[in-house]
Structure 1
């Protein structure tokens, strides 16, 4: 195939699927006699297709991380370092709040997917919250705020890796931890100089069976006014990162004089939209913009979206479907097509996600089982397959690492080189 020939749409899809053109052969029987020459030619077939070569590399792709074996292994091999540095999912927490409990988990081989794992954390978080309340009653608000944040971090660990209103009956303890995380995080946020506002705005674009409110956290600079409307950055959360988990990012946004809004994406947290509907995020976004337009303190010509992980997937979608309403979009570690590839999912389950990746992703897309996700997910939700990527988009920046084992770098490369001009950075 000439390197200068423009690929047609079918060839582009084949490349996205990992096919190579020299693997395709004509299936017509060469021994057919002349009387059958007017018959319809049989379709081509692919024979001896080799295993797809991912940019991640075959060794990393096939590698099964050991932290999935138990909560103790998760701590020793992955989370201990993150906790000591206050990095996600331990942002706002204190190392000593977690060390002892994880050592007990290690001793008794507790599984992180078990109800026992979640149950143990609840009284620990409640104790930190109680200490915060005592300090608050004494007027020691700075210390109280710290304990409220610490409690929220404990409850975040308790509800890992994924929680949503859709699954609250399947995982009631996780959902209880999620409710407690919101309560304690809001107590902390109300003590900040630029306070955290918990808003429920009308879901004007809801379907008949959906809840009628969109839940969002908003922080507005003190300088914002009706005479000087502010730019807005809408943060789209991910699979295990919900709207309670953006403190450092909202601080950075506020430092620039911008408004921050944090949203749960469909199939996570309190998002009211049906995750099985491909237009769910579009409808949530439109409802949020309806609110901002009515309020009047926001610069509607300067709306940006920043999505990470699963939120990055929805950010890319919005960059195309709502391009005229957006100044720009950042897709941070975003999947678009290949992250739903059956072969990829079979290995991603064992990569860097804390645990139960495929189960969490299936739930986030409205599936009850992983097998349903593998059978139907890519055909239904791929931004390539449903032609979203063929349209024009607002300015779109991709940021991801080539060693991402959940959202393959192929998904960024493919979009950067397709459709509207994009910007990308691989690290």
Structure 2
């Protein structure tokens, strides 16, 4: 856990000394003490941010709110499984949007009507318009607020970015199910109609479990998607009970992996999870040999959370696809990984 501080989610923006303070107060990872320890740091930075508001320095205000968002976000990790974690999640959203007042380009909170509810996400667009757009989402624990650094990178390339929560996470109006890709179709409907967006240059990037949804969208909405990236998501073998058993204690995941996966389906136990999972198989749904949008597949060769065989299955099925597998574990996190994705996207969007 300590090795992640300042480097990997959910600790990317966390300070080492402050994190040690929180960890020293903990005897384990039980939900309420975990939420309380990190929320104390969040509240401290929230107080600093509100004090900075009086200074009028937008950078100092923004950075203080981002620190507060970081610690509250760690407090709800990997998902809001208790009242304290739910409150931490509420504060995560509040602090992120407080910081977002000072983003350049600005952030627009978008609520897309969907079956009596809403698909909620954060849109940022470059000055040059109509702009290409990246629809981006994470996995079981990396929700839309935590996609901030990736949105910043997409914007530096001159692309707009809309970050949203995947099914069963955050503010998404659907749980995971074979029909839950409809939330992404609704987002495509909306953005294809916005004049600031170049509807002919929309790409989707799904990280971790989100790579599954990127793959589904690449097939279901292939005519509206210029490019799709599956960065670490299983598509068939991952959903089988055998793999869930094999991966349930994957050392690359901090804690509560099975609980976080089950939460996507509104379930709580391993037994409930393995009954719900198989229905998501894209092989069994009959999609793999159908046409799809251009795809890039990325992962680590030693992934203990998602079987590499799922990526070989994609490569052996349907349309030819690009792939890059990196050393290491889940998502193949190396200094070259995300730049490789950006380079491939440039080739498709420019």
Query: Are residue 372 (structure 1) and residue 294 (structure 2) matched?
Result: no
CA distance in 2, matches of 1:247, 1:114: 25
The equivalent residue for 1:354 is 254
The yes-or-no answer on 1:234 pairing with 2:165 is no
Which residue of 112, 133, 137 maps to 1:201? 112
* Aligned pairs, number: 325
Indicate yes or no: 2:161 matched with 1:256. Answer: no
Does the alignment pair 1:189 with 2:100? yes
Give the CA deviation at 1:308.
Answer: 0.6
The equivalent residue for 2:122 is 217
* Structure 2 unaligned residues grouped into runs of 5+: 327-350
Contact 1:97 1:154 in 2 (8 A): no
Q: Equivalent residues in 2 for 1:38-53 (5 A)?
A: none
Structure 2: distance between partners of 1:96 and 1:191: 27
Q: Deviations over 1:60-82 (max 9, x none)?
A: xxxxxxxxxxxxxxxxxxx2122
1:344 deviates by 1.7
State the structure with more CA Rg.
1
Is the Cα–Cα contact under 8 Å of residues 132 and 160 in structure 2 kept in the other structure?
yes
RMSD: 1.5
SS at match of 2:215: helix
What are the within-5 Å matches in structure 2 for residues 8-407 of structure 1? 79-83=1-5, 85-105=6-26, 109-110=27-28, 112-163=29-80, 171-203=82-114, 206=115, 212-224=117-129, 229-275=130-176, 277-281=177-181, 283-351=182-250, 352-378=252-278, 380-407=279-306
Q: State whether residues 231 and 259 of structure 1, in contact with CA within 8 Å, keep that contact through their aligned partners in structure 2.
A: yes
Q: Is the 8 A contact 1:86 1:95 kept in 2?
A: no
How many Å separate the matches in 1 of 2:277 and 2:8? 31
- What's the CA shift for 1:187? 1.4
SS at match of 1:139: coil
- Mapped partners of 1:266, 1:98: distance in 2: 30
Is this contact kept in 1: 2:134–2:205, CA < 8 A? Answer: yes
Native 8 Å contact 1:93 1:149 kept in 2: no
2:151–2:161 contact (8 Å) kept in structure 1: yes
How much does 1:97 deviate?
2.3
Cα pair 1:113 1:355 within 8 Å, conserved: no
- The 3-state SS of whatever aligns with 1:244 is helix
TM-score, L = length of structure 2: 0.89
Is the CA contact (8 Å cut-off) linking 1:86 and 1:94 kept in structure 2?
no
CA separation of 1:376 and 1:246: change in aligned 2, threshold 3 A: closer
Q: Are the aligned partners of 1:220 and 1:260 in contact in 2 as well (CA < 8 Å)?
A: yes
Query: In 2, Cα distance between the equivalents of 1:104 and 1:186?
Result: 29
How far off its partner does 1:372 sit? 1.9
Quote how far apart the aligned CAs of 1:269 are: 0.5
Q: CA separation in 2, counterparts of 1:193 and 1:114? A: 35
Q: Equivalent residue for 1:51?
A: none
Q: Determine the C-alpha separation between the residues in 2 that align with 1:243 and 1:140.
A: 26
3-state SS of paired residue (1:413) = helix
Q: CA deviation at 1:359?
A: 1.4
Residue 193 of structure 1 and its aligned partner are, at CA, apart by 1.9
The answer to whether the 8 Å contact 1:233/1:305 transfers is yes
The Cα shift of 1:260 comes to 0.4
Kindly provide the CA deviation profile for residues 256-287 of structure 1, in whole angstroms up to 9, marking residues without a partner as x.
11100101000001100233x31112x11222
Q: Which runs of 4+ in 1 moved over 4 A?
A: none
Structure 1 stretches of 5 or more lacking a match? 1-78, 164-169
C-alpha deviations, 1:30-69, integer Å up to 9, x for none?
xxxxxxxxxxxxxxxxxxxxxxxxxxxxxxxxxxxxxxxx
C-alpha deviation, 1:306, in angstroms = 0.3
Higher mean Cα deviation, 342-351 or 265-274? 342-351
Conservation of the 8 A alpha-carbon contact between 2:137 and 2:147: no
